[in-house]
Amino acid sequence: MITLDLSADSAATTVADAVVIGIHSSPDEDGPVLAAGAESLDKALDGALAATLRQLGASGSASEVTKLATLGATTAPVVLAVGLGGEPADGEPIDQDTLRRAAGVAVRALKGNERVALGLPLGDLDAVRGVLEGALLGGYEFIAYKTPSANGRKEPVSQLTLLVGDALDKADKALKSEVKRAQTVAEAVRRTRDWVNTPGNYMRPPSLADAMRDAVAGSGAKVEVLDDAALRKAGFGGILAVGDGSDAPARMVRITYSPRGAKKHVALVGKGITFDTGGISIKPVAGMGKMKSDMAGAAAIVNTIIAAATLKVKVKITAYAPLAENMLSGASYRPGDVVTMYGGKTVEIINTDAEGRMVLGDAIARAAEDDPDYLIETSTLTGGQVVALGNQTSGVWGSEDLRSRVVEAGGRVGEAMWPMPLPDDVRHGMDSPIADLSQTNHSGERAGHMLQGGAFLAEYVPEGLPWAHIDIAGPSYHSGGAYGHIVGGGTGVPVRTILDLLDDIAENG
């Protein structure tokens, strides 16, 4: 993790290899306008900072970066100006996600510098959260399997200093709490990214379960791991149907966090397919390598409960991570099979590549036995999510009120969510002539494929239990170039959304 400290120094006097300031675009000016926090630098440069940036081509558009050398005029030898877009209306704060993305871009652009000072506008604690989360996440790199380069490699920024100036009191408890929260949340997201990015041969069900057990240690939560023998004894037929095709046996990780004074109990469930070949209904080779990320839901919920326990969120949480590897062998489950799930429901298998709902059906049924007040599940469930909503917006199903709260939480933290329906006709298409239900549409109809996944999971949620299913098939893994605080590979979605929702439940029930 990047180390983080606070300083009341100005941008002109801070000791750092580079200092970051913000600039706005302005329709009334021929070039950028300096944002709050840049005043001391402008003074040290004889009032020429904005003009110099203009000559370098800076416009102040969102996430644009411009570097300039201070040539000894300030303590830091390099200034990086990052665009914040247009100036907000008088009295209005800068959007938190704008700051988050700007800080992420800036820190990434300063790779090769050890210590960076952040002189971005800090009007309130929301701004602090945005800047710190962006800075801590935007500089992330996954290099666990890279050997040292003969020409060397620019290392990511390792030390960050947040310049609070006169805007905030460096000794304020609320500020210190916000800093601790940002570090804890960033650690949870970065660990989620690490697990998602780890190749499938290094992260099979037993090793992922071990990594989860190790990560929980010291957080205040308790962990239990069910091996394949325990799963078989308890009747987890869905997890075993998927996992028995692999020589790396399935696991179920159960984590509990029970703080004093908690008035609500939330169950978290996440899909943990450590690699997905599709099984007998094998996937095409194009894109299969990304199926190491099919455990992103499990990674997210485990790191969410670790962060919640570390931050002492006043909500009781029970998390379930069903882990399996969907492989081909003589023991693989087949289309046409009937599987008895945990709790006794029978499922006719139509497509072995719809394996996520099998492990999740078991885990949801088990989680419901803990009598939670809310149940939240997240998974890379369907390719249909990407077709319908693209790579940056998650689909959300479930009880109307909780579904809305999830969408609102995603909006607050900058993780886009969109509410989706559960139509009766989609569920009726999953009626089976030989089992309680089919795993997908019985005739193989692809229409509403994403909705079929939600309809299947709904079968395992007891009536009256508020629940939400978050499909992160696209948003959990980014294959393109970096933007904002998002880099290539695992993104950590939806850790921050669920944490924000847990805070909301702790405060409002």
Contact at 8 Å (CB) between 242 and 333? yes
Cis bond leading into 93, ω under 30°?
no
The one catalytic residue among 111, 213, 283, 412: 283
Axis crossing angle, helix 400-413 with helix 495-508, rounded to the nearest 10: 120
Give the amino acid at 460: Y
Nearest Cα neighbor of 326 from 359, 271, 278 is 278
The one catalytic residue among 357, 366, 403, 496: 357
- For the question of residue 357 being annotated catalytic, the response is yes
Q: Tokens 């509990």 belong to which residue?
A: 256
E strands, 368-452, where? 374-379, 394-398, 417-419, 437-438
- For the question of residue 271 being annotated catalytic, the response is no
∠ at Cα 349 (348, 355), nearest 5°?
130
DSSP state of 344: S
For 213, phi then psi, to 5°, come to -60, -45
∠ at Cα 90 (84, 95), nearest 5°?
35
Q: Tokens 């909500």 belong to which residue?
A: 315
Helix (H), strand (E) at residue 107: helix 96-109
- 166, burial (CB in 10 Å: exposed 0-12, middle 13-18, buried 19+): exposed
Q: Tokens 């308790």 belong to which residue?
A: 222
Q: Tokens 């075993």 belong to which residue?
A: 240
Cβ-based neighbour number of residue 57 at 10 Å: 9
Write the DSSP assignment of 272-293 as a string of letters: EEEEE--TTSPPPSTTGGGGGG
Catalogue the active-site residues.
283, 357
